[in-house]
Amino acid sequence: MKLAVVGKGGSGKTTTAALVARTFARGGASVVALDCDSNPNLGISLGLGEEETERLIAMRQALEEGEQEHAPGWDQLLDRFGTDAPDGVRLAVVTSIQNPEPGCP
């Protein structure tokens, strides 16, 4: 099963996604949480803490700057760019752009 959470800023997307992820994990499911937000805070809501949340984003950033190799497949992506969050949820940040790039308004 794949779930996507969308909504207006501040409506509770991240909080809802984290709660759903951990609830499924507690029920025995193997859960991958993907943070696709350009302002990625899912790690915070999963209970991972700020340092680890920012570490994942820094790794994603290093990829963009060519300091990291891309993962060739989803399993390696989760392995190399992911981290273990509470209740066994595996979290990966799959989008984060730190610097606004001119060219696209």
Partner 1 sequence: MVGKGGAGKSAIAGTLARVLARQGRLVLAVDSDPMPGLSLSLGLGVVDAPIPDEAVEERPEGDPGPRYRLRSGLSAVEAVERYAVDAPDGVRFLQFGKLRGHVAPFVRSQFAFRQILDELPPESPTVVGDLPGGTRQPFFGWARFADTVLVVVEPTAKGLLSGRRLARLALGDARPRRLVAVANKVRDPTDVELVRARTGLEVLAAVPWDEAVGDAERRGISVLDAAPDSAAVAVVTSLAQRLSMERMSNSIGT
Q: How far is the CB of 27 from partner 1 (least distance, A)?
A: 26
Sign of CA dihedral 97, 100, 104, 105: positive
Q: How far apart are CA 54 and CA 52, in angstroms?
A: 5
Q: Is 72 in the site for partner 1 (CB under 8 A)?
A: no
Q: Is 14 in the site for partner 1 (CB under 8 A)?
A: yes
User: Of 51 and 67, which CB lies nearer to partner 1 in the complex structure?
Assistant: 51
56, burial (CB in 10 Å: exposed 0-12, middle 13-18, buried 19+)? buried
Q: How many CB atoms lie within 10 A of CB 26?
A: 13
Q: Is 53 in the site for partner 1 (CB under 8 A)?
A: yes
Q: How many residues bind partner 1 (CB under 8 A)?
A: 20
Q: Is 8 in the site for partner 1 (CB under 8 A)?
A: yes
Binding window for partner 1 (CB under 8 A); candidates: 10-18, 19-27, 64-72, 81-89: 10-18
